[in-house]
Homo-oligomer: A and B are copies of this chain.
Amino acid sequence: MRILILGGDGFCGWPTALYLSQQGHEVAILDNLSRRAWDDELGISSLTPIATLEQRVAAWQHVSEKRIALFIGDLTDFEIVRAAFEQFAPDAIVHFGEQRSAPYSMIDRQHAVFTQVNNVVGTLNVLYAMRDHAPQAHLIKLGTMGEYGTPNIAIEEGYITIEHEGRSDTLPFPKQPGSIYHLSKVHDSHNIFFACRIWGLRATDLNQGVVYNIGVEQTERDPALVNRFDYDEVFGTALNRFCAEAAAGHALTVYGAGGQTRGFIDIRDTVRCIELAALRPAEPGEMRVLNQFTEQFSVLDLAERVQSAARKLGLETTIAHLENPRVEQERHFYEAKHTKLLDLGLQPHLLNEATITGLLELAVRYRERIDLTRILPTVTWK
């Protein structure tokens, strides 16, 4: 299968590219390297030293004898998108190519506008390129569980059947996203659903939970293949950030009470979910929605698990309940369905102490790279 990976230089995109290449698929990456530019803008960097994209691809060719084609450019520039579609002729498009940090989108008005324009226009361009150049291709789009918010009913996978005044319909699940970034994903979902309904495109919208862990077997095969690992307040996600904090002797930064409950997924399952979706594409005209996570935890649960694993490594750490920079419920009902990827064959890597220990050891190894001044939250929702 010919698979075009949009945003293939990022935290999820890079391991996905290698994994799919390893499985024998023809893989190309389209990326504008903006994730690196945002590091530069904010003065932060990956805990792990990462190679340039060109070095990465060369190293992969060296260890695997497999080639990954590169298109360097911006999804908001339609000519770039069109050229990639025409030259590569993808059967599947895996779309990670968006600004994916909630705090980044909440920095100020400019970052909010940038995030929504970047994500919405990029995805519109992909949809138009599919319509005109690859109408049979399958879009595999990364959404987020954060699109749903925290309703007081169980979250279904994309759609819900509503009985109302004696009638019934199955409709898109109502969305209450919690940041400008999460809103941009909701906008995408509506646009993609429209393109499927009107143009007969086929799409799978993967509403992914919070991703943890560092890489996959393929990213271990050469130092130049190592994945990025974010621990800062803007791009660091909860479990990874806690591990870096523990290694650096910083308190684990739980926002508020820590009862915020979310779906989580190991990055080894992320890449497998993408493959499963690609192998069993949506039907023409269908926007299939899958909730892509394997377990749900509260943020405080995770902090306590990291604290416990760290102690066994001789890392004593405390849990700090910071004033919550976000506006969100800190104690709430949360139950989200996630059986469809299991039905497709996913065998989850559930979170265990070995995984946390591995992350802690990684963080200890790179401890001197941790900038403690970039951990405490400065971006607030108010």
A residues at B contact (CB < 8 Å): 78, 109, 112-113, 116-117, 120-121, 124-125, 128, 151-154, 160, 162-165, 167-169, 171-180, 183, 186-187, 190-191, 193-194, 197-199, 327, 333, 381-382
Contact = CB atoms under 8 A, between A and B. Distances in A.
Q: How many copies does the complex hold?
A: 2
Contact of A151 (B109, B152, B169): B169
Contacts of A193: 176
Contacts of A171: 151, 153, 174, 176
B152 A160 contact: no
Given A183-B191, A327-B198, A124 B112 contact: yes
B154 A165 contact: yes
Nearest to A124: B113
Contacts of A152: 167-169
A362 B113 CA distance: 43
A10 B128 CA distance: 30
Given A190-B186, A191-B183, A153 B165 contact: yes
A382 B109 contact: no
Contacts of A197: 176, 327
Contacts of A382: 198-199
Nearest to A187: B187
Contacts of A190: 175, 177, 183, 186-187
B164 A160 contact: yes
A167 B125 CA distance: 40
Contacts of A120: 116-117, 120, 187
